Amino acid sequence: MNNPFLTENTAPHETFPFEQLKNEHYLPALEAGIQQGKADIEAITSNAEAANFENTIAALDNSGEILDLLSNIFFNLHEAETSDELQNLATEISPKLTEYGNDIMLNEALFKRVEAVYLNKANEHLSVEQTTLLDKTYKGFVRNGSKLNDTDKEKLREIDKELATTTLLFGQNVLAESNEYKLVITDASLLSGLPEGVVEAAALTAKEKGHENAWVFTLDYPSYIPFVTYSDQRKLREEMFLAFGSKAFKGNERDNSATIKKIALLRHQRANLLGYASHADFVLEERMAKNPTTVFAFLEDILVNALPFAKEELAELTAYSKSIGGPDELKRWDVAYYSEKLKKEKFSIDDELLKPYFKLENVIDGVFITAQKLYGLSFKQRNDIEVYHKDVTAYEVTNEAGEYVSMLYMDFFPRAGKRQGAWMTVFKNQKRINGVDVRPHISIVCNFTKPTESKPSLLTFNEVTTLFHEFGHALHGMCANGTYGSITGTSVYWDFVELPSQVLENWCYEKECLDLFAKHYETGAAIPEEYIQKITESANFQSGLATIRQIGLGRLDMAWHSADPSNIGDVKAFELNATSATDLYHAVKETSTSCSFSHIFQGGYSSGYYSYKWAEVIDADAFEAFKEKGIFNKEVAKSFHDNVLAAGGSEHPSVLYRRFRGRDADPKALLRREGLIK
């Protein structure tokens, strides 16, 4: 059996041969990869030469090549194209990878060599990038138990194994709950308020799910969001809202209440074992924020500024609702519905007015042209590159000199095997081996509205900004220009990783950028200038409420991870207490944010959800640099490219940012942009 993980790759740019991949390839490749990885480590520890940067730190960074590839392919497909068989494999593969990782981190002979290099670094004459890798490697060993006694090392292994399987269970429960629900409508009168495109998409979904003469709505964002935003049927909006908010919180076998308490407790125990007061203390040691006190103060500072605006916005929305015959008290399933109506009244704009100008293919062209104008990148579709699903498109990325830069995969539509949301990910990191520049393979995964029989995929403006956001992450990965794979691309401090993504969203509000791609899908007419003006004018509509929501999620994350969670009883009560300062609506007892909060319980954002707002402060300040000299100014773009995108994690982010901006970020830049300073 030819195993694509274990045979020579002859594909263009060594792209992965997805069409040859079978589920039975994973376990043999895992075993071979573990053997190779252990042999790599043995070669380092048995080296008769004294430990130095090249024979220990660099050699370690380049070890385990098969496992790196296997992990990237398997877990990316587990997120974007999973199946029952893949989920079963995950419960076998994940603990084995965790055990292998611990075998490395708890290898005493290996740590002694790493420590020897670290203690001798003054005599190594290292570059800044090498010093960063050395510090990160040494801290990585210490932070993962290398200085523990044998008994505690075994405890750490058991905790890590349990965490791996429990985190998988969390994600599988959320996906199963999301896939199970569907709202089937057979009475056309119940579709009132819904835009034509949404109704047509629901009819297509009904066909796909075997329902004749019906319309089906699901919990996938392109179905759920338009329904709760436009449906005139308040009871059905409530039903959809409750279904969405109660995912994995129904007291059944997929209820995540016990699962998240277990995850939080295991993380806390792990942190304590390593000498930290909490999981947040452990995580934040390697973040720009440094500690929980700083995060809480940061969130509180924004809360104090935003809360008065949010209360005013809610009062305005409630008064508006009453004025058009709506309820006296807005429930959560009313907010999007009346907000959209109020926005249209105030600004004469809504998604249905804008969507015809945001055909998906045009928006893709727009983000490509933006990257070309800023960074000289070109994108060519490659139909000869194998992909993992028919909806995925592969692009070859080149620079102004025509040199190959990266592969980019784009995967845009919902399906049963794909988790919700949008993300950028990596199939292969950029690095240099023996002087050869190994270029990265990057992927963007989203859940946008599918084309229907009569319409192409037309994006909401929010989806446009989402695409630009994920493309910003992709640029960070594609433009990587380092030597060591573990500190290139997006391998940066977590509260800095959102800067390239969030800063690119700003271009969506600029006429100079929108004119490049926002054209009516039927007539080809450019988006009217008055529409662009309305987009700009409405950019801060209910920014107070949006900010408060993000602060609430950040505080909820910190509540789970900054203290001992062993006394948490009722998940809902704990949530309400954690978010009381930001909760402007009455609680809905049937729903729980935590039980499907994939960012913090599955996606790597534990003790890091605050980083969205943290990076917004930096991105608002960074974009002011572009605005000062022109949003496509080559000089500013080159500085951002060289000091942020290409630099990856080669230096501390505050150093990189100061090099780009000439100073630290102005904390008031975000409040200025969002109109939260009177």
| Identity of the residue numbered 37 | G
Q: 538, 346 in Cβ contact below 8 A? A: yes
**In this structure, is the dihedral angle defined by the CA atoms of residues 512, 627, 471 and 463, taken in order, positive or negative?**
negative
Q: 183, 236 in Cβ contact below 8 A? A: yes
Average pLDDT in the 288-316 region?
96
Average pLDDT in the 632-637 region?
98
| Widest distance between CA atoms in the chain | 82
Instruction: List pLDDT tens digits, range 110-120.
Output: 999 999 999 99
SS3 558: helix
For residue 430, give the nearest of 417, 419, 418, 439 by alpha carbon. Answer: 439
- Res 308 pLDDT > 70: yes
Average pLDDT in the 430-450 region?
95
pLDDT of residue 161: 94
Task: Categorize the per-residue pLDDT at 225 as very low, low, confident or very high, splitting at 50, 70 and 90.
Answer: very high
Instruction: List pLDDT tens digits, range 474-532.
Output: 999 999 999 999 999 999 998 899 999 999 999 999 999 999 999 999 999 999 999 99
pLDDT of residue 1: 65
Q: 235, 461 in Cβ contact below 8 A? A: no
pLDDT of residue 420: 87
Instruction: List pLDDT tens digits, range 173-197.
Output: 999 999 999 999 999 999 999 999 9
Q: 82, 175 in Cβ contact below 8 A? A: yes
Residues of the chain with CATH 1.20.1050.40: 12-147
Average pLDDT in the 207-211 region?
94
| Identity of the residue numbered 371 | A
How far apart are the C-alpha atoms of 96 and 71, rounded to whole Å?
Answer: 11
Q: Enter the pTM of the model.
A: 0.92
Residues of the chain with CATH 1.10.1370.40: 355-539
What is the 8-class DSSP label of residue 525?
A: P
Average pLDDT in the 567-595 region?
95
What would the DSSP string read from start to end of 323-363?
HTT--SS--HHHHHHHHHHHHHHHHS--HHHHGGG-BHHHH
pLDDT of residue 671: 86
Q: 387, 544 in Cβ contact below 8 A? A: no
- What is the percent of the chain with per-residue pLDDT over 90, rounded to a whole number? 95
| Identity of the residue numbered 169 | L
Close Cβ partners of 645 (under 8 Å, ≥ 6 residues apart):
375, 475, 476, 479, 480, 500
Name residue 185's beta-bridge partners.
215
Task: Categorize the per-residue pLDDT at 676 as very low, low, confident or very high, splitting at 50, 70 and 90.
Answer: confident
The per-residue pLDDT of the chain, averaged, comes to 96
Size of the chain in residues: 678
pLDDT of residue 157: 95
pLDDT of residue 678: 61
| Identity of the residue numbered 53 | F
pLDDT of residue 342: 97
Q: Which CATH architecture has domain 12-147?
A: Up-down Bundle (1.20)
Instruction: List pLDDT tens digits, range 235-282.
Output: 999 999 999 999 999 999 999 999 999 999 999 999 999 999 999 999
What would the DSSP string read from start to end of 369-403?
HHHHHHH--EEEE-TTS--SSTTEEEEEEE-TT--
Q: Sort 18 into a burial class: Cβ within 10 Å, 0-12 / 13-18 / 19+.
A: buried
Q: Please provide residue 661's backbone torsions phi and psi, each rounded to the nearest 5 degrees.
A: -95, -20
Instruction: List pLDDT tens digits, range 76-110.
Output: 999 999 999 999 999 999 999 999 999 999 999 99
Instruction: List pLDDT tens digits, range 417-429.
Output: 998 899 999 999 9
- Say if domain 355-539 classifies as CATH 3.90.1150.10: no
| Identity of the residue numbered 592 | S
How far apart are the C-alpha atoms of 262 and 117, rounded to whole Å?
Answer: 38
Residues catalogued as catalytic = 470
Q: Please provide residue 262's backbone torsions phi and psi, each rounded to the nearest 5 degrees.
A: -65, -45
* 648-676 residues labelled b (16+ CB within 10 A) or e (exposed): bbbbbbeebbeebbeeebeeebbbebbeb
Average pLDDT in the 591-618 region?
95
